[in-house]
Amino acid sequence: MPKTSRTRYILIAVCIALVGAGLWWTFGKSGTNTAQQKKKGPVAVSVLAGKALRKDVPFRVDSLGTVQPLVSVLIRARVDSQVVKVHFEDGARVKEGDLLFTLDSRSIDAQILQAEATLARDKAQLEKAERDRDRVAGLAAKGTISQVQEADAKTNVEVLKATVAQDEANLQNLRVLRTYYDVKAPVSGRIGIANVRQGSLVRLADSGTPLATINQIAPIYVAFGVPERFIPDLRAAGEKATVEVAFQSELTLTGGKVAFIENTVDPQTGTILVRGIFQNSDEKLWPGTLASVRVTLRTDPGVVTVPAEAVQSGQKGTFVFVVENNVARVRAVKVARNAEGESVILEGLNGGETIVTDGQLSLRDGSRVEIKTRQAGS
């Protein structure tokens, strides 16, 4: 055999030996490990776990709301006149009855003086007519004058009484109209920008733009929507329900009460309008501000809770993995609601059980588990 062919056969034999050794190392070793694992049992799955706890849990509903003034009043002119003076600064706090605008009242003042003079004249005529009636009545009693003259005297008194009453009504009407020239605040609150200045003409027909706007903000409303499924709980809570609001500025205010529940559900959103009322004496709530609203309807005592991530969904409903002697068991549960990262369990747990909170994807009923400790910051 040539030397070259002999060398080739030697190399082929060496390669076959190396491949065989590699296959033995891979499959033979793996088979040994598998046999060892079967001898030792299944590998435990590393999981995170928590506890099912019994505690008092508030029944809360979260929503998004808007701060609204308790009352918003548009100040409008009720007569045609000219602004003589503006008595407030833009954005000032005003009280009910404060003078806001003074309008030119010279014409109405003259009419009032004229009406007062007319009333005085007619009262004087009435007094004279009453004296004449009394005198004629005396003469008629003596038979010196006819009964017709006596009747005419009485009629003249009644006519003048009606004239005086008409004068008084006219004067009262003019005095009411006079109050329209001193525009006063109908409610207490914050007034906005004055839309007219001294010398401006105001007309009764100009109803589009008000003279100013007053918002009553102490107390104040926070309006928000509540899903219709919570209506029975909301109505049952009544005045015991409390409201708190939080803003993007991290300001949180408590102490609100439910003041109003709308009488119908919005069919487009499936929610019902609710208003919470706050005293707002420090004016931290401002109309138009958006806020996160939380309504506490009641507190459920001694209910079972688990971390929300422990609850899984399957074809037969919701369940959790309960760890017993390092073995995970499937336990069907009924969840009442979720609250602040926890699930309130209505049925299936008694409290005190160890519950798997992470690693459920690698588990099945009967899997061995190893509870690991969550690393700080993870």
Interval 168-192: pLDDT, tens: 999 999 999 999 999 999 999 999 9
What is the pLDDT confidence band of residue 238, given thresholds at 50, 70 and 90?
confident
What string of DSSP letters covers 323-345?
Answer: EETTEEEEEE-EEEEEETTEEEE
Q: Calculate mean pLDDT across residues 138-161.
A: 85
What is the pLDDT confidence band of residue 5, given thresholds at 50, 70 and 90?
low
Which of 286, 267, 158 shows the shortest CA–CA distance to 220? Answer: 286
- Res. 376: pLDDT tops 50: no
Return the exposure string of 20-34: e unless at least 16 CB atoms fall within 10 Å of the residue's CB, then b.
eeeeeeeeeeeeeee
Q: Calculate mean pLDDT across residues 352-369.
A: 92
Residue 44 is predicted with a pLDDT of 86
| 150, 137 Cβ separation under 8 angstroms | yes
Residue 144 is predicted with a pLDDT of 77
Q: Which two tokens stand for residue 61?
A: 């509903």
Q: Calculate mean pLDDT across residues 92-103.
A: 96
What is the pLDDT confidence band of residue 205, given thresholds at 50, 70 and 90?
confident
Q: Across the chain, what does the average pLDDT equal?
A: 88
Q: What SS3 state is found at 203?
A: coil
What is the pLDDT confidence band of residue 347, given thresholds at 50, 70 and 90?
very high
Helices 147-179 and 106-142: crossing angle in degrees, nearest 10, is 160
Q: Calculate mean pLDDT across residues 115-130.
A: 95
What is the pLDDT confidence band of residue 1, given thresholds at 50, 70 and 90?
very low
Chain segment 254-278, per-residue pLDDT in tens: 999 999 999 999 999 999 999 999 9
Residue 321 is predicted with a pLDDT of 95
| 297, 241 Cβ separation under 8 angstroms | yes
Q: pLDDT higher for 224 or 374?
A: 224
Q: What SS3 state is found at 40?
A: helix
Q: pLDDT higher for 132 or 64?
A: 64
Q: Calculate mean pLDDT across residues 37-64.
A: 84
Strands (E), 247-365: 252-266, 271-278, 290-307, 312-314, 317-324, 327-332, 334-339, 342-347, 354-358
- Res. 14: pLDDT tops 70: no
**What domains sit in the chain, N to C, each tagged with a CATH number?**
45-56+302-371 (2.40.420.20), 62-69+216-299 (2.40.30.170), 80-104+181-209 (2.40.50.100), 110-171 (1.10.287.470)
Residue 15 is predicted with a pLDDT of 60
Q: pLDDT higher for 15 or 67?
A: 67
What is the pLDDT confidence band of residue 93, given thresholds at 50, 70 and 90?
very high
Which of 97, 116, 124 shows the shortest CA–CA distance to 174? Answer: 116
